[in-house]
Structure 1
Amino acid sequence: MTDHATGTHVFTPDPRNDNVLIDVNGELFPRPEAKISVFDSGFMLGDGVWEGLRVYNGKMAFLDRHLDRLWQGAKAIMLDIGISREEMIARLRRVLDANQMTGDGVHIRLMVTRGIRSTPYQDPRVVISPATIVMIPEWKAPAAGTATRMLNLFTVHVRRGYPDVQDPKLNSHSKLNCITACIQAAQAGADEALMLDPHGFVATCNSTHFFIVRNGEVWTSTGDYCLDGITRRIVVETAREAGIPTYERNFSLTDVYGADEAFTTGTFAGLAPIGTIDGRVIGTERGPMVERLQGLYRQAVERELA
């Protein structure tokens, strides 16, 4: 395995991040001093929900959608966030202001766990504190060329599971399923893992969503076995508004291998083109549909920030 990440999450290191201020439960700490308890539910059991936010010109893009998903996920697992939505937004803005993050190239990891447990045990009734809320802002922009560099994907044996086992729609702290997929893809020399659903249809990637283009149509999975991605949803909406036939449907690797174009979507990098999948060449350069959709997504971001 390489000693650095590849794919859509590659970024240029920024020395300003060494001492960035991090919000832990409403208090600001320099990065080396930002800590949580070893009894915290997130550390101990992966018990929590989170969001990743992109900041453009000091403004958090699609914040309402992200907070909707955060609150819905917390409600689903009976996690009391403990503060109002307004207070959450105030803390987010405060941590940006404290770090003088008024421009582009900023990413925030917002994490909420069930809080501190009295003992290492999974039962939520042993929780003895309010929820833990952490906000990690970083100077973190996608590496140059991300919009055009052709990704290499590898289909892994690790599946996206049934919702009655662990619902893939929940953006939980427990990401071991995706991490295992990521490890297998990395060992195969790929940038990211392509994951199937329990029926053998294409579901998603380990940290991004997956689309193909066939005969002028854009296809993505049904969404039954993947996170309801914010960027994924915006791409589907903007493509349909532009008159591009766009479908959420079941499709197999046979459809993928014969596709005209393929791409991933995610909050951090937006849309990124795919070159090869399991050794099959999908394209050697960014295709016209991906380029068009990247433009439509940029317009959607601009409308959001206006």
Structure 2
Amino acid sequence: MADRDTIFSTHTLHPEVTEALSELGDLVIAPEPTPAAITEGARGASIIVVRAPIPAEIFAREPNLRAAVRHGAGLDMIPMAAATEAGVLVANVPGVNAVTVAEHVMWSSMALLRRYPMVSSDLRNDGWARGRAHSDHGLEISGRTIGIVGMGHVGRQIARIATAGFAMRVLGVTSHPESLPDGATLASLDEALEAADILVLCCPLNDKTRGMIGRDQLAAMKPDAILVNVARGPVVEEQGLAEALAAGRIAGAALDVFDTQPLPQDHPFMALPNVILTPHMAGITAESMLRMGQGVVHETRAILSGGKPVNFCNPDVWPRYRERFLADT
């Protein structure tokens, strides 16, 4: 009987996905998603299922490593150059959690507009009347202007909900105008900053977007506007944002991603009443976890069968990969 492939995952997976991957190989789960545990746990792996950053040295070290398959869309957890140099395929599962993230954006935006963090805190700590007093300052989301920075799967889904569900004016900031859905208007970042009641960041992290929202950009926003970040933490200059929120220069923020994760307990965001903080979970529900996992199973099955992944993120690696694993076929 031939040796079974080892499939290593940085995290526990949906039960159905665990069962399916276990049929394809010996599934190993990291005891914790730390660099040390991942580096040790990936020994002997043919496939790495990625939900945490992967140390670059793993790719050159592992002679049997065929692929890193991202459980999701963002590729910033995978050192692409190291993978390609080592002849390792990289695949991802884009779009399957777009609805999940879009719903997170809408509920957190509505909660901020209705001042839910302060209502809840004051009701619990100071009584009914103190909590209810915030209602006079609450705002409806319907008919407002939403600026969406990044028009990938997530951005388009937010635009559809905003337009069809709340009759909002949608401004799309993108370098790909053809990606705008019906009802959205192309805008520059400066135009979106000036006009948006809600500014949503759902763009990839790269050299162009790193630090894109700094003090100058925050100063250009309306004082009653809110910022929602479901992109990556470094897209926003955190100290400048904390200062703007504390001074009331913008009304609030819903933040799911941060420069340092987990977010330190002494971070300035922790003390701000006009901020909703979530631990990088905007794209995670039971439904999205299953869909992402099913995508991982599909890609893993294809790769272990000698084929190419459907969502092939580093196609230039294919000749090197063929030399490593398919030379005799």
Task: Give me the TM-score of the superposition, normalised by structure 1.
Answer: 0.25
Structure with greater strand percent: 1
More helix by share: 2
Q: TM-score, normalised by structure 2?
A: 0.23
Higher Rg:
2
